[in-house]
Amino acid sequence: MAEYLIKNGFVFDPVLGIKGDATDIAIKDGKIVETTAIRSPKIIDATGKTVLAGGVDVHAHVAGPKVNIGRNFRPEDKLFTYKPGRGIERMQGGFSVPTVIRTGYNYARMGYTTVMEAAMPPLYARHTHEEMRDTPILDQGAFPVFGNNWFVLEYLKNHEIENTVAYIAWLLRATKGYAVKVVNPGGTEAWAWGLNCENIHDPVPYFDITPAQIVKGLIEANEYLGLPHSMHVHANNLGNPGNYTTTLDTFKLSEGIKPNSKFGRDQVMHHTHVQFHSYGGDSWANVESKAKEIMDYVNSHDNITIDMGQVTLDETTTMTADGPFEHHLTELNHLKWANADVELETGSGVVPYIYSPSIKVCAIQWCIGLELALLAKDPMRVFMTTDHPNAGPFIRYPRIMKWLMSREAREQQFDAFKHKDKVIDATNLAGIDRELDLYEIAQMTRAGPAKALGLAHMYGGLAPGLDADVAVFDFNPNEPYAPDDIEKAFGNARHLFKTGVQVISDHEVVSNGNKRTLWVNARVNENPQVMRDVKEKFLRYYTVTLNNYEVTGHHYLPNPYVIEVDATE
Amino acid sequence: METVTLTIKNQPGLYLEADSITPDAFAGKKAEEIAALPVYVGREEHRLGDFFEVSGKAGATPEETKIIVNGDLSRVKYIGMKMTAGEVVVNGNADMYVGAWMQGGRITVNGNVDAFAGTGMKGGELLIKGNAGNYLGAAYRGDWRGMTGGKIVVSGNAGSDLGTFMNGGEIIVGGDVDVHVATHAEGGKIVIKGNAKSRLGGQMVEGEIYVFGTIDVMMPGFAYRKDVDIEVDGTKGRFALYEGDLGERHRKRKGQAIYGKLYQRVEA
C-alpha cells in the first residue's frame, strides 16, 4: 500500500498528548507509523491546517428497519436533496434520513471514519447489515437491543446470569452484533400491552421484572463476558419534564461495579443522548435544565460515560425503539406517526419533528445538550452526538463544535431565540464562559468514544500502530477566526485517510474506501439450556425459523472484522 | 415586458424535466444563454436548446419576463416550478408539476395539465383552460404542508386528491372533480362548480369547500348545520352548510371549536 507523510500540520491528539504542535504523521500499510519507517511517501502538505484522527461516532441511527421506515414515510425529506452520481460518488439523497450512500460520504466529509449503529432489532439484523454493507467508507458495528427481549426478561427475573450471558453471546454471534444496547428497559415490552415503565422500579407487565433489574443484570452479564463496550443504555422516561431523577437513578445502578474488559475501557455503563434525560420541572410550561445535577454525578463517577444528544434546531425525523415515547411525541406535535413491533424482541416508532428556535422548549433542549459538554470535567467521558437523527442530523457536528468552541456563537444563537429571556432563566448556559479547544473536541469525538467502545487499539488517535484514519482540515487555530469558520472548515475535510487509503483529496471523494463491519465473537461455555430455549421459542413464537434469522456469509458481511472475546472457564 | 418564445422541436424519448423554464431562470439572459440552461431526461443532463427553438430575450428581472411555450408539452414536466414573478403562457398540454411551489407571477395553460399542478403553491395565479390531473394544489407526497397561498383556476374538470393538506389559497374548478377533496386541509378554499364524487373533507380540520352540483356520497364525519344564502365566486345562491371532519381534533377560538366547512348549493 501507498506511503503518505502528512507534513507540518497542527496536530491535536489526546492519545499522543499533542496540543496543536506542528507534527508530521506517517502512514504505511494502513497504519500510523514512525516517520522514520517510511521511505518514499507521497507528501501531503498540511502547513497551516489542522490534523485530527478519524472521528468515531458512538451512537447514531444510520442503518436498519426503523431508519428505513423514516425514509419510506418521509419522501418530503428527500425533496430537492438529490445529487446525481459523479466520478466515484454514487447518487445521494435525503436530509435527516439520508440514503446510506450519502451517510457514508457526509460522515467522511466531516472527517469521521467509524460510526456505530445504535439500535439493531435482532430479527432485522440481516437488513441492518445490508444497509451497513452499502454505506461507503465507514467502519461500522451495530448494537443489538436487549432491554425488552423475552429471553433476557425471563433469565434476569430468575437471576440466571450465566444463562443471560450465554444468550447474549449467542445473539451477538447470530446477529453479528457489537455491544449490548438497552432502550427504555421494560418500557417497550410494556408498550405492547399499551403501557410504559416510567421509572426504574415500574414493573414490566406479565414478566414482573423492573427496569432496574434489567439494567443491573445486563451490566453484570456484560462484565462477565468482558465485552469491548459497556452496556449502552437509553433509560426510561426519555423526554419528559422531571425525568432527571430517573436518569440519576439509572446512573446509580452502575455503582460498585468495576469494568472487566481487556479492551481498555474504564466504564461499565454508557448512557446515551443524556440531553433528553436531563429535564426538571413537572410540565412543558416549567421544564428546566438539570444538566448541572446530571454532570455533578458524571464528573464524580468515573465508571460511566455519556453522549450529548445535542438538539441542532432543524427539521428532523425522530426514531427510536422507545415505542411509547414516539406515541407521546405524535400526540404532542400531531404529525404523522409510524409504529412497529418486533415480535419477542423490541419495537419502534418514528415521528417527524421540527426543533424551532421560536419554541421555548426546543431552545431549552439546545442549551441542555451544550451544558452537558461544557460542564464536563473529563472530555474523555462525554461524547458529541445528536442521537442522529433524533435531536438533529449528524451533518451538524461541525456546527456543534462551533457552539462548544465559541461563546460568541452561542450568544448569536441566544439572540435568535424568540423566548430568549425565559430560556436563559430555565437553563445554565448563558452563565457558562467555557470555550472548548480542539484538543478537548478531539477527546469528545475521537479518543474518548474509541476508548469507551474498547477500540482504542485501533481508532481515536495518531500514535504509531493505530489504524491510519487521519483527517486534514482547512483550519489554522493560531490565526484569528470567526465562529462560522469552524463550522465551515470541519464540515469539509481537505483530506481524509481511512485505514491508509486516501478517500478524500482536496475536498473531493476519490475512493469508496475499504469499509469493514465490526462484530464481537464472545465464546462462553456450552449452555444446552439456552440453546434449548432458543429452539423452543423459535418453534413456538417466532414467525421465522432460525435458518432465516442468523446473519451469515459474505452477502451480509463482505469485509468483517471480528473481535474475539473468551469468557469460557 | 420582454418575451421569450420556446417552441418544442424535438420530443424527448422519455420525459423532460424542465424546471428551468421560469422567468427567474431566464431573467437577464439572451436567447443563446437560455438555450444553454440545463434540462434532464432521467439522469442525463441536456440543454434546453436541444429540445426547444428559443427566440426573443428575457427582461432584466423575472417581473419583466414573459415566456410563451408552444407545441405538445405532454412530456415536459415542472414548467414554471418555483417561479416568483413574471408570466408563463403554455399553448398546449403540459405534463406534471406545472407551477409547483410557485410563489408569484402568473401561469396560463391553454390546454390540459397532468398531475401535481400547483403542488405546494405559495402565491401567484395558475390558470388552466382545459382539465387538470390528480393532486391539483396538493402537498408533495408525504408532506403535511400543502398549498398555502395563491389561486388556481381550472376551466374544465380536475382529478382526484385536489387540495390535500391545503393550508391557504384558493382552487376553483369549473367542471367536475374526482374523489378526495381537501383531505387533511387546515385552511384554504375550494370551489367546485360541477359535481363531486365522494370523500370530500376527509380528516379536514379547517377550510372551506363549495360544491355547486351533486355529491355522490357525503363523508359520515360531516354534520348538517343550516342553510345559508351566500355569494361564491360571483354566483349567489342558497347552500346547505355541513361541518366536519368531526372525527378529527379541532382548534378552538373563544371556546368554540372551529370546523372545516362544506357548502353544497341547494338552489340557485
Name the residue ranges covered by the structural domains of chain A: 56-80+115-452
Asked whether the beta carbons of residue B143 and residue A85 sit closer than 8 angstroms, the reply is no
Q: Does domain A56-80+115-452 have CATH number 2.60.40?
A: no
Question: What's chain A's average pLDDT?
Answer: 97
**Dist CA A101 CA B244 (whole Å):** 45
**Mean pLDDT in residue range B91-108:** 98
Asked whether the beta carbons of residue A75 and residue B43 sit closer than 8 angstroms, the reply is no
Per-residue model confidence (pLDDT) at position B267: 79
Sign (positive/negative) of CA torsion A165, A246, A257, A207?
negative
**pLDDT of A117 strictly over 80:** yes
The dihedral region occupied by A206, where left means phi > 0, alpha psi between -120 and 50, and beta the remainder, is: left
**Mean pLDDT in residue range B201-209:** 97
Asked whether the beta carbons of residue A334 and residue B43 sit closer than 8 angstroms, the reply is no
Which residues of chain B does A69 touch, with a Cβ-Cβ cutoff of 8 Å? none
**Dist CA A334 CA A475 (whole Å):** 43
- Could you tell me which residues are beta bridge partners of residue A504? A496, A509
pLDDT confidence of A311, banded at 50, 70, 90? very high
At A61-80, the pLDDT tens digits run: 999 999 999 999 999 999 99
Interface of B with A (CB under 8 A): 43, 45, 140-144, 249
User: Min CA distance, B143 vs chain A (Å)?
Assistant: 5
**Mean pLDDT in residue range A2-20:** 97
Q: Does A80 touch chain B (CB under 8 A)?
A: no
User: Min CA distance, B140 vs chain A (Å)?
Assistant: 7
**pLDDT of B258 strictly over 80:** yes
- Report the residue of chain B nearest A91, measured CA to CA: B43
- Report the residue of chain A nearest B19, measured CA to CA: A80
**Dist CA B39 CA B78 (whole Å):** 10
**Dist CA A108 CA A117 (whole Å):** 16
Q: Does A75 touch chain B (CB under 8 A)?
A: yes
Instruction: Give percent of chain A above pLDDT 90.
Output: 99
**Dist CA A219 CA A225 (whole Å):** 10
Cβ atoms of A565 and A228 closer than 8 Å: yes
**Mean pLDDT in residue range A451-461:** 98
Nearest CB among A79, A84, A335 relative to B144 is that of A335
Which residues of chain A does B143 touch, with a Cβ-Cβ cutoff of 8 Å? 75-76, 79
Per-residue model confidence (pLDDT) at position A569: 79
Which residues of chain B does A84 touch, with a Cβ-Cβ cutoff of 8 Å? 43, 45
- Top residue of B43, B82, B135, B143 to mutate, by most chain A CBs within 10 Å, is B143
User: Min CA distance, B123 vs chain A (Å)?
Assistant: 19
Which residues of chain B does A91 touch, with a Cβ-Cβ cutoff of 8 Å? 43
At B23-75, the pLDDT tens digits run: 999 999 999 999 999 999 988 999 999 999 999 999 999 999 999 999 999 99
User: Min CA distance, A190 vs chain B (Å)?
Assistant: 27
Which residues of chain A does B43 touch, with a Cβ-Cβ cutoff of 8 Å? 84-85, 91
At A366-408, the pLDDT tens digits run: 999 999 999 999 999 999 999 999 999 999 999 999 999 999 9
- Top residue of A79, A89, A333 to mutate, by most chain B CBs within 10 Å, is A79
Per-residue model confidence (pLDDT) at position B233: 95
Side-chain half-sphere of A147: how many Cα atoms within 13 Å? 35
Cβ-Cβ contacts under 8 Å for A552 (sequence gap 6 or more)? none
pLDDT confidence of A495, banded at 50, 70, 90? very high
pLDDT confidence of A3, banded at 50, 70, 90? very high
Query: Of B99, B95, B130, B101, nearest to B115 (Cα)?
Result: B95
Asked whether the beta carbons of residue B140 and residue A73 sit closer than 8 angstroms, the reply is no
As given in the structure block, the three cell numbers for residue A458 are: 485501533
Per-residue model confidence (pLDDT) at position B43: 83
As given in the structure block, the three cell numbers for residue A6 are: 502528512
Side-chain half-sphere of A338: how many Cα atoms within 13 Å? 21
Per-residue model confidence (pLDDT) at position B78: 98
Per-residue model confidence (pLDDT) at position A394: 98
Q: Does A76 touch chain B (CB under 8 A)?
A: yes
Cβ atoms of A491 and A110 closer than 8 Å: yes
Instruction: Please name the residue that has the C-alpha cell 460498585.
Output: A256
Per-residue model confidence (pLDDT) at position A507: 98
At A177-210, the pLDDT tens digits run: 999 999 999 999 999 999 999 999 999 999 999 9
pTM for the model stands at 0.95
Cβ atoms of B152 and B137 closer than 8 Å: yes
Question: What's chain B's average pLDDT?
Answer: 97
User: Min CA distance, B153 vs chain A (Å)?
Assistant: 26
Report the relative pairing of strands B170-173 and B260-267 from DSSP bridges: unpaired
Helices (H), A397-513: 397-405, 407-416, 420-426, 438-442, 448-452, 483-490
Per-residue model confidence (pLDDT) at position A84: 86
**pLDDT of B163 strictly over 90:** yes
